[in-house]
């Protein structure tokens, strides 16, 4: 799902984010998820302490991409998390600068940069973040993702069409009911869901998980 994923895109990749426990992780994998996201940002409702989670994350199948979600981590923190044996890539969800991202890229660290989408700022003004993988997510004051709200998909569709070399992942308010429509309309490289498959923050509804992944590939 990230830069080293060179398989032909015959279907959108699916990432399930906000995983906090082994049971939900294994259910997502069983239903066909390509990647799992773990929030290592302590301000998240779905915060997962690295030390507590290391054991069971390391036991997940090797072919599943394990993504550490960070927000405004400093350089040493980002490099340390990227160096964990059970983490494949970072997802930067804060105000990380292009310069910070360039340093990560030069160090060979795989990462995605989340872009908050607000109607007041055209996506064409998005700077270079030195990664092919960008996540378009809803912009909400005081939040960094997992808001459960959509943004105008026309903005994402236009951005995808204007940037064929990027791997654009659509997020923000996706559910089993609307993800097929979103995929058809936007044609993203992948989709990312948190709230839309939860029974409560940090706990996944396995019926919704199964339905979401099936609909995304429908």
The catalytic residues are 17, 137
Strand partners, 37: 67
DSSP for the chain, please give it.
--TT--S--SS-EEEE----SHHHHHHHHHHT-SEEEEE--TTSTTB--HHHHHHHHHTS-TTSEEEEEESS--HHHHHHHHT-TT--EEEE-S---HHHHHHHHHTT--EEEEEEE-TTS-GGGPPP-S-SEEEEEE--TT--S-------HHHHHHHHHH-TTSEEEE-SS--TTTHHHHHHHH--SEEEESGGGEEETTEE-HHHHHHHHHHHT-
SS3 34: coil
Rounded Cα gap, residues 128 and 64, in angstroms: 27
Rounded Cα gap, residues 135 and 35, in angstroms: 14
């Amino acid at each position: 799902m990230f830069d080293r994923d060179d398989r032909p895109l015959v279907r959108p990749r699916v990432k399930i984010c906000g995983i906090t426990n082994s049971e939900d992780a294994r259910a997502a994998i069983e239903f066909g998820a390509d990647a799992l996201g773990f929030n290592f940002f302590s301000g998240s409702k779905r915060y997962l302490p690295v030390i507590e989670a290391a054991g069971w994350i390391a036991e997940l199948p090797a072919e599943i991409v394990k993504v550490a979600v960070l927000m405004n981590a400093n350089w040493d923190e980002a490099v340390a998390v990227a160096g964990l044996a059970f983490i494949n890539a970072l997802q930067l969800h804060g105000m990380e600068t292009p310069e910070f991202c360039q340093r990560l890229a030069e160090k060979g660290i795989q990462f995605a940069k989340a872009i908050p989408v607000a109607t007041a700022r055209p996506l064409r003004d998005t700077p270079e973040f030195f990664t092919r993988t960008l996540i378009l997510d809803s912009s909400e004051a005081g939040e960094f993702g997992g808001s459960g709200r959509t943004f105008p998909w026309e903005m994402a569709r236009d951005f995808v069409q204007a940037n064929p070399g990027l791997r654009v992942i659509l997020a923000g308010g996706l559910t089993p009911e609307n993800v097929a429509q979103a995929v058809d309309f936007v044609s993203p490289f992948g989709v990312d869901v948190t709230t839309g498959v939860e029974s409560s923050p940090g706990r996944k509804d396995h019926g919704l998980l199964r339905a979401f992944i099936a609909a995304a590939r429908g």
